[in-house]
Amino acid sequence: MRMTDLPLSPTPRTTLHRLRERSRLDRADLDAILDAGLICHLGVVIEDTPVVLPTGYGRIGENLYLHGSSANRSLLSAAGQQVCVTVTLLDGLVCARAVFHHSMNYRSAVIFGRAVLVDDPQQKLAALEAVTNHLVPGRWDYARAPTRKELAATAVLALPLDEASVKVRSGGPKDDPEDYDSGIWAGVLPSALAFGAAEPDPALRGDIPIPDHIAVLASQFRGAPQAGSG
């Protein structure tokens, strides 16, 4: 059985205590959020100071990989510590009849665990490939591979995906019964990340075409929820 087929096991850190109906316990929901997002936020306590670091990430099987500069002391300080990583996707703005009931449709994942600094050269290279192709699919094989100096300048953290919480809100506004006849417009403004047309580097030679893996991104929405999801 694949890990994707297994449910998420709630722990004291991942159990929702409010709006429990928004909890999702399928591992596939966690994977879908991670695959659709682009930026995560790494939370860690460094010398009694809470720090939140935004960074790109990639996923290979049961590990999430985060990357950054090897000169980033905050990132390096997270190695060996219990950390928290969050990924959030905004799916829409929910406009209710009453201000109190305004909300957002979203999908979010919170992952807890001990971050590990990746030292093995092959694992580090595979992790960076995963991060690169997660951000721009197909880019790793197209672009120049990193040199030893560039690899040394890059730090990679691995975080296991065995303790995570998934929360989803979908659908329209939920107003008080007495407000439904108020004559106030209510509904949802859907949201999804879209890429514009590629803008070539001014220093690029004129005979170099836009590669297919770049052109296809300009016609896609990233991470839009499937119809009927939630």
- 101 neighbors 199 (Cβ within 8 angstroms): no
Which of the listed CATH numbers 3.20.10.10, 3.40.50.300, 2.40.40.20, 2.30.110.10 matches domain 3-173? 2.30.110.10
Residue whose pair of structure tokens reads 């990132």 in the numeric block: 75
Q: For CA atoms 8, 13, 14, 16, give the dihedral sign.
A: positive
Q: Mean pLDDT of successive 10-residue segments in the chain (230 residues)?
A: 61 71 78 95 91 95 94 91 96 97 95 96 97 96 96 96 92 95 96 91 92 88 62
Q: Looking at residue 229, what is its pLDDT?
A: 43
The pLDDT, as a whole number, for residue 1 is 39
Task: From 164, 138, 162, 129, select the one nearest 56 (Cα to Cα).
Answer: 129
Radius of gyration, CA atoms only, the chain: 20
Residue 4 has what pLDDT?
Answer: 52
Terminus-to-terminus CA distance in the chain, angstroms? 25
- pTM value is 0.87
